[in-house]
Structure 1
């Protein structure tokens, strides 16, 4: 969906109305009249360790390194002055049962990735009122008190700790966020926690306009060491963010918005750059796109120079939307002709060898060795 002379608010309002009408039309229960909750990217990453958090269950992350003694932090990480994030899993009042399910989780293949984390394996405390300081003695007297106050911990609860480098958030998932999801899923499967229910929609906004480049995601192929967090046509959110393009583009915030429900990103959109000068500056001077690559955007720049209205839009993933509505984890279950792992469609038996008639229709011929 693209809208001319529109702001992000226009797109968000229209999309919310569409989703609510859809739910009222085909789902057993309509969504409430209140607007979808909104949170910034930094709030999502800080509280849930994910840019598409499942907010149906709590288990929020908290920074706790200020409460912990250095010797305890040194036992769970070799990093120098790391960030320590923690979350609590509410128990059933039986520490021995909590310990049993904790040990069971730590022996799963899914836990191996956390145990082998170079930034440090998870630390854990099982709250047990029969033990000194409720089982928190390794945190010291003051640390134990602070943790109990922060988490309102009770007999049988479980606290996880995860360290990471003290660096700004980038990407869509932290190790603590990944651990939160894995622990919750396992606890639900084992009946230790109740499965979450319902649909909790929210918008995630305030993404950084640019993020550090990584080898696995080269972005726009520039040489600046940064890439557009979403795409290079996203507009800065405010005039102040636009000014940062000239001084410190890594601090600029994008006018981008993601619609998230139950940990699934249903779609994302943004207000676009409609100035040719700004668009060319982003590509050439900020991202440092090579001239040959910049040339491939010449048609876009020419169109912008001819005059382009302010515009914004969003794209919803139809398959993911239907999967969420049907309560299935895989979009393959709602796609009419899903592909296999090898890209094959067993229903229509594709891809298949080219016939001579097909080759003639498309004016193709087979090379030596069977390659077309």
Structure 2
């Protein structure tokens, strides 16, 4: 089968980390390969229809992933953990977690509670470390075929377009985060109107949240989608949002603030976004970290000086994934997040595209 294989390279890692998006995309350690069709006892072969490019994929390619996570990935690997597939003519969303169940191990304490996203055996058992898309033993969605246990396959409801159905995995991430953020504050500011931020906004409204939602959007097309998804107001920058609500104080070269927003969702996945979220949170407010910043500098004083609370969220339970799939028919417009659908051979163009990029592996 044809697949995009990521093979780590230390020289390219350090060069991409230093140069960021200025690093030539064709020099990234990614290549289109011909691989044997995957096969493993106890797993079903899934024909990949669409697979998304996630911010965590880009962070890996550009050397931004936290080093502390490296023992829980295994390479070389076919990337792609946002997967819409087909099994015997039925469209399915693939839950990419590889927990105790897949590893042939008795359930760890977290898996016993249903919290397979927090499995304590990510690097143990019969499989290499990591979930689908970061695992050398099982290919992710950036290939023509993947493998999954029957329990990880969720049929897509009738009438849901493919471009919406492939968003089931990031939608499940957001659903879990919002559940952990309850009780919801009377107002929420969402930092970053990429895929995760816009899904957060759309899902908040779909779940019945009636408070005021503010959004920080870097680009005009993101601001337009934020308004369409129910934002009461859209700011062009975190600075603009801060000046709207907080009082600024200066001493010599230093600046501090009082006031802000009762709830802040950091959805940009950057260290800068995390720092901005802490500054934007009001005294006694809370921050939900849905993005995935790595090793970054941050002023931690808001945690004690303003008594800001922090909620982190990573993946999902099986039930949360199932609920996300069941919500898809109600979430019309999500397919508008897709910026382009690409064959595997056009991967450089996909990684540079604006909006959510998808691969359609089974086309020339």
Category of TM-score, reference length = shorter chain = under 0.3
TM-score with structure 1 setting the length: 0.22
TM-score with structure 2 setting the length: 0.22
